[in-house]
Structures are given as structure tokens and as C-alpha cells.
């Protein structure tokens, strides 16, 4: 990749947890369509959508933005999962498919809280080599993600704000401890249009489809404000009774946001984590693609 930079007027900052895994070859789209929970075959060149890889029991291993380039080349833009670990795990399922899985170690991911100049919605801007941008914002709150060859400055406050934006819009940021723990419905990923119940088989598809068509989803995401930092994996309690689990947490401007999986029929009022009271907030729209 070259060292083209995002537009000079955009104050960019590094997103060091992001990594990229590419899938190339004549069977790339067919392989991805059979492995991932989104409808990869219907994704147009030059566009992206949210997707994920599931265990056979329908638990989310990794969430990612899936980009499709001309010729069927794909990128998995991973906010949290380790690209090298995912590559090794996915390689076991290649068999005779004509695909190559490569970690783009020289790619650098950065962000800015400014409107994109080339991208819009699910259409990304730029070539597969060089500076690339994705529209990661909403109509009310613009945000742009860049992939390029230059290292952007570290800014912990800005990165925390980026993570908090994700959580506020219902994108769970899954730490390693939360991988393979939750179904797409439990993470409310229908809000992001991140999975399909109509396409053919993929790992975990039977669980996802049965839950959807039989109306068996019993838990989903709830967003909370907390007065202090809360750890992922902590129990959400209603008095002495555990009713949910913290799956994502982010701190920004002295405030802490968490996403927790709770029963859909449970009131979100009067809950706490380790004695810290939680204040429910409505999830925002605008990040679906």
C-alpha cells in the first residue's frame, strides 16, 4: 500500500485495534458466502456491509465490516478480532477452494469525526491499494474510517469516543472473552442488517434461522450509562439476582457506556453492576449498512 493520507482537513487518529484480513481468488465470494452470516453474494463491488463468522452452534466468533472489490476480492475489516488468529482458524475450512487468506500487516486504520469525501453509506471510496475510506457515521453524527499506509497519531480520548459511538449505535465491540458466547439475535445484530435468514447454509445458520422463524429470541442488547468504568463480563444485577452480562464497555469524556445482554421482557430500570447504578439509554440508529 502507498502512503496516501486522508484529506488534510480531517483530524485523524489511530484505531490500533483494527486489522484487515483479505480473501482473494476465483472462489473468494463463494467461500465467504458459505462461511459468513451475511449475504455476501448480493454485495455489490465497491460496497460493504456488516457481517460475522459463527460457530456451528451459532455463536459469534468475530464481527467485521465486509468490503467487496472488483474481481471478487474481499476485505474483512476487524474492529477487535485478531486477524492472524482468524486467518489460521478460517484456513482449516478452505479445503479445495481457490482462495488465499492474507493478513494486511502494512495497512493502518485511522478515524476522524468528519464527513467522508469519497464514501457514502455502504459505498466505500478509493481503490484497493492506497487511501480508502468508509462512511462509519450517521446523518446526525458524521464519522470516517480510513485505511492507508501512514501511521496516524495516537489519541486515547478520540479512540474512546470512537468506541463509545459504536456502542451507542448498537455495534458491540467484542473482547476475546466475549467471542463465541452470543448468538446474532442476542447481540441484536438485526439492527445492523448483519446476518441473513434467507440465504443458504453457513456455520450456525440452523440456530439463527430457527430462532428467527420460531420467534425464540429471548435476549438482546441494552445500552446503559454508568458513572464509572465497568468491566466486560461483569454481571448485571437486579438487587441480588443476576439478570444479564456486560458484553462491551467504552469510556469517553469521563463517562462510561456499556452494552449488556438482558432478557427482552425485563425492565431496564433499577439495575447495577458491582453496586454501580446503571441508567438505560435508547440505542441510536444510523450505523446499519
pLDDT in tens, 203-236: 999 999 999 998 888 999 999 999 899 999 999 9
Ranges of beta strands (E only) in 90-218 are 100-103, 108-112, 132-135, 144-148
pLDDT in tens, 36-79: 999 999 999 999 999 999 999 999 999 999 999 999 999 999 99
Closest CA to 248 of 174, 166, 159, 168: 174
Q: Tell me, what's the pLDDT at 211?
A: 93
Q: Tell me, what's the pLDDT at 108?
A: 94
Q: Tell me, what's the pLDDT at 129?
A: 56
Q: Tell me, what's the pLDDT at 1?
A: 42
pLDDT in tens, 124-150: 998 655 689 999 999 999 999 999 988
pLDDT in tens, 73-123: 999 999 999 999 999 999 999 999 999 999 999 999 999 999 999 999 999
The torsion defined by the Cα of 5, 7, 11 and 17, in degrees rounded to 10, comes to -40
Grid cell listed for 126: 478509493
Indicate the domain borders of the chain: 13-151
Is the pLDDT at 276 greater than 90? The verdict is: yes
Q: Tell me, what's the pLDDT at 247?
A: 98
> Containing H/E element for 90?
helix 83-91
**What one-character DSSP code corresponds to residue 146?**
E
pTM: 0.93
pLDDT in tens, 158-170: 999 999 999 999 9
Angle at 195 between CA 189 and CA 200, to 5 degrees: 160
Domain 13-151 has CATH 3.40.33.10: no
- Region 249-257: mean pLDDT is 90
Q: Tell me, what's the pLDDT at 120?
A: 97
Amino acid at each position: 500500500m502507498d502512503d496516501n493520507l486522508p484529506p488534510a482537513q480531517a483530524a485523524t487518529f489511530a484505531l490500533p485495534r483494527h486489522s484487515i484480513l483479505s480473501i482473494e481468488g476465483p472462489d473468494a465470494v463463494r467461500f465467504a458466502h458459505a462461511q459468513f452470516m451475511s449475504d455476501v453474494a448480493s454485495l455489490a463491488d465497491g460496497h460493504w456491509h456488516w457481517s460475522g463468522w459463527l460457530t456451528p452452534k451459532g455463536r459469534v466468533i468475530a464481527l467485521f465490516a465486509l468490503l467487496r472489490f472488483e474481481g471478487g476480492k474481499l476485505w474483512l475489516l476487524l474492529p477487535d478480532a485478531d486477524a492472524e488468529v482468524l486467518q489460521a482458524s478460517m484456513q482449516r475450512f478452505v479445503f479445495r477452494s481457490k482462495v488465499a487468506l492474507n493478513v494486511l500487516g502494512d495497512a493502518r486504520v485511522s478515524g476522524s469525526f468528519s464527513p467522508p469525501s469519497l464514501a457514502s453509506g455502504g459505498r466505500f471510496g478509493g481503490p484497493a491499494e492506497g487511501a480508502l475510506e468508509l462512511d462509519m457515521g450517521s446523518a446526525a453524527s458524521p464519522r470516517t474510517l480510513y485505511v492507508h499506509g501512514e501511521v496516524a497519531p495516537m489519541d486515547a480520548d478520540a479512540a474512546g469516543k470512537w468506541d463509545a459511538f459504536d456502542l451507542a449505535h448498537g455495534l458491540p465491540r467484542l473482547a476475546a472473552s466475549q467471542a463465541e458466547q452470543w448468538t446474532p439475535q442476542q447481540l441484536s445484530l438485526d439492527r445492523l442488517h448483519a446476518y441473513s435468514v434467507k440465504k443458504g447454509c453457513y456455520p450456525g445458520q440452523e440456530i439463527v434461522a430457527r430462532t428467527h422463524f420460531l420467534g425464540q429470541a429471548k435476549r438482546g442488547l441494552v445500552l446503559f450509562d454508568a458513572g464509572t468504568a465497568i468491566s466486560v463480563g461483569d454481571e448485571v444485577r437486579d438487587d441480588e439476582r443476576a439478570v444479564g452480562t456486560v458484553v462491551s464497555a467504552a469510556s469517553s469524556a469521563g463517562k462510561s457506556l456499556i452494552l449488556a445482554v438482558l432478557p427482552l421482557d425485563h425492565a431496564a430500570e433499577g439495575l447495577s453492576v458491582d453496586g454501580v447504578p446503571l441508567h438505560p439509554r435508547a440505542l441510536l440508529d444510523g450505523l446499519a449498512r
